[in-house]
């Protein structure tokens, strides 16, 4: 940001970030901002005329919330904040546009992390399921091979017993 003859960069926030910080709704923040602007307080606006909040706007908004919480009338609270935090209307603001910068609220970050964890858990579960399925298939195939071998061995023994019993002649047929 450029302020007079010296340069100073300040982080800017969007309404949803400030509303979350102050624990108020974005519509309340919007109304408060309009009221403050009507009394002469200036907020930064981007090239599309969207209001952005700078770090130095946070304290006046916190003070306004505090005044309102202490049952001060809205008009008196607005006037008190504007008098406590005067702004020179001749300030020229230039906020650098950084394409790579992404601003997220805590809630948005939490949702993104939760979704990433959910996807990772689902992927790990799927991998474990496939490994378990593969192991079960191998175990079943091994069991089936052993069972088949055992059945074949038993059948062969039975055939040999049958063949041996047919070859044995009865004792009375021995003399014939």
Contacts of range 81-87, beta carbons closer than 8 Å, 24 or more positions apart: 81/36, 81/41, 82/36, 82/39, 82/40, 82/41, 84/60, 85/41, 85/56, 85/59, 85/60, 87/40, 87/41, 87/42
**Cβ proximity of 40 and 87 under 8 Å:** yes
d(CA 30, CA 14): 11
pTM for this one?
A: 0.47
Confidence check: pLDDT of 84 > 90: no
| pLDDT confidence of residue 94 | 44
In a domain, 175, yes or no: no
Tally of structural domains, the chain: 2
Cβ of 65: how many Cβ atoms within 10 Å?
18
Max intra-chain CA distance, the chain: 136
Residues 65 and 87 grouped into a single domain: yes
Q: Are residues 40 and 92 in the same domain?
A: yes
The string of pLDDT tens digits covering residues 140-168 is 999 999 999 999 999 999 988 887 777 66
Q: Tell me the three state secondary structure of residue 3.
A: strand
Q: Per-residue pLDDT tens for 85-106?
A: 876 544 444 444 444 556 667 7
Q: Which two tokens stand for residue 31?
A: 């109304």
Encoding tokens for residue 165?
A: 């019993």
Among 101, 131, 161, the domain boundary falls at 101
Domain carrying residue 42: 2-101
Query: Which of these three, 46, 67, 101, is where a domain ends?
Result: 101
Does one domain contain both 30 and 79? yes
Residues 61 and 24 in one domain: yes
Range scoring the smallest mean pLDDT among 38-42, 61-65, 97-101, 152-156 = 97-101
Contact 64, 36 (CB under 8 A): yes
Bridge partners of residue 2, in order along the sequence: 7
Q: Do 75 and 11 reside in the same domain of the chain?
A: yes
State which of 101, 123, 138 marks the end of a domain: 101
Is residue 176, in this structure, part of any structural domain at all? no
Residue 92 sits in a domain of what CATH number?
1.10.1660.10
d(CA 116, CA 78): 43
Do residues 75 and 108 both lie within one domain? no
What is the Cα gyration radius of the chain?
A: 41
Torsion of CA 115, 121, 127, 133, to 10 degrees: -120
Task: Specify whether 92 is located in the same domain as 157.
Answer: no
């Amino acid at each position: 940001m450029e302020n007079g003859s010296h340069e100073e960069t300040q982080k800017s926030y969007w309404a949803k970030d400030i509303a979350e910080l102050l624990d108020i709704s974005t519509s309340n923040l919007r109304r408060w901002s309009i009221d403050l602007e009507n009394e002469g307080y200036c907020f930064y606006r981007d090239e599309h005329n969207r209001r952005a909040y700078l770090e130095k706007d946070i304290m006046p908004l916190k003070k306004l919330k505090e005044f309102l919480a202490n049952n001060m009338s809205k008009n008196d609270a607005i006037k008190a904040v504007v008098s406590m935090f005067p702004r020179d209307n001749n300030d020229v603001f230039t906020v650098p546009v950084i394409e790579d910068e992404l601003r997220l609220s805590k809630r948005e970050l939490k949702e993104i992390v939760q979704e990433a964890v959910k996807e990772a858990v689902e992927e790990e579960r799927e991998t474990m399921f496939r490994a378990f399925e593969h192991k079960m298939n191998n175990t079943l195939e091994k069991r089936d091979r052993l069972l088949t071998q055992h059945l074949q061995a038993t059948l062969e023994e039975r055939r040999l017993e049958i063949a041996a019993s047919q070859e044995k002649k009865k004792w009375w047929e021995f003399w014939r």
